[in-house]
């Protein structure tokens, strides 16, 4: 019996000491995925102000998704007209390219001071056909969130005194993500 008590008295301190020696394992930090983000040229850009909505026009039978983000005197806008509109708060899942129609429009703007001294967003060129893609990957019409990707290149033509193009400036908006971005829905 004395051997059992001695063994017990030996094991208890060992267990207590081993518990005190355990290293704390840091909990995995949750990293929030931004709802709207892209690379502008080669710099990651995550807007601090975002807005998204889907508007169904019953008279015209059109549905338009528009979203925008603003930060650091830069603004990115997407306007997409659903090719298969239904009178609901969803969108047709698919891949869409900028073409000669106005079904998909991208705009990259920078903030400038106008002649009146007011700060306004001025478009940086235009997005030409085949220079932009929007992928609508998923939409949850109950939670009203949308997920997808986008990319586009905006071209700004610089003209000489004779009216000819002397150079072209490009702004590339790439690896754009729309991740569980909340949106509002309205009928007109």
Residue 36 CA to residue 38 CA, distance in Å, equals 7
> Span 15-35, mean pLDDT?
58
Tell me if 91 sits within 8 A of 129, measured CB to CB: no
pLDDT tens digits along 60-116: 999 999 999 999 999 999 999 999 888 889 999 999 999 999 999 999 999 999 999
* CA distance between the termini of the chain: 88
Give the per-residue pLDDT at 86: 87
Residue 74 CA to residue 72 CA, distance in Å, equals 5
Residue 160 reports pLDDT greater than 80: yes
């Amino acid at each position: 019996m004395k051997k059992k008590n001695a063994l017990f008295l030996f094991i208890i301190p060992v267990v207590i000491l081993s518990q005190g020696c355990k290293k704390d394992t840091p909990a995995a930090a949750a990293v929030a995925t931004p709802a709207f983000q892209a690379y502008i040229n080669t710099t990651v850009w995550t807007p601090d102000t975002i807005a998204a909505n889907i508007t169904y026009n019953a008279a015209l039978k059109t549905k338009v998704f528009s979203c925008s983000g603003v930060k650091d005197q830069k603004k990115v806008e997407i306007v997409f007209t659903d090719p298969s509109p239904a009178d609901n708060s969803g969108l047709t899942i698919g891949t869409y390219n900028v073409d000669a129609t106005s079904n998909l429009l991208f705009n990259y703007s920078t903030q400038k001071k106008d002649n009146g001294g007011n700060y306004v967003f001025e478009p940086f060129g235009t997005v030409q056909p085949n220079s932009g893609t929007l992928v609508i990957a998923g939409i949850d019409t109950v939670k009203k969130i949308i997920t997808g990707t986008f990319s586009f290149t905006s071209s700004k033509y610089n003209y000489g005194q004779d009216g000819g193009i002397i150079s072209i400036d490009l702004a590339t908006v790439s690896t754009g993500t729309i991740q569980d971005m909340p949106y509002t829905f309205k009928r007109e």
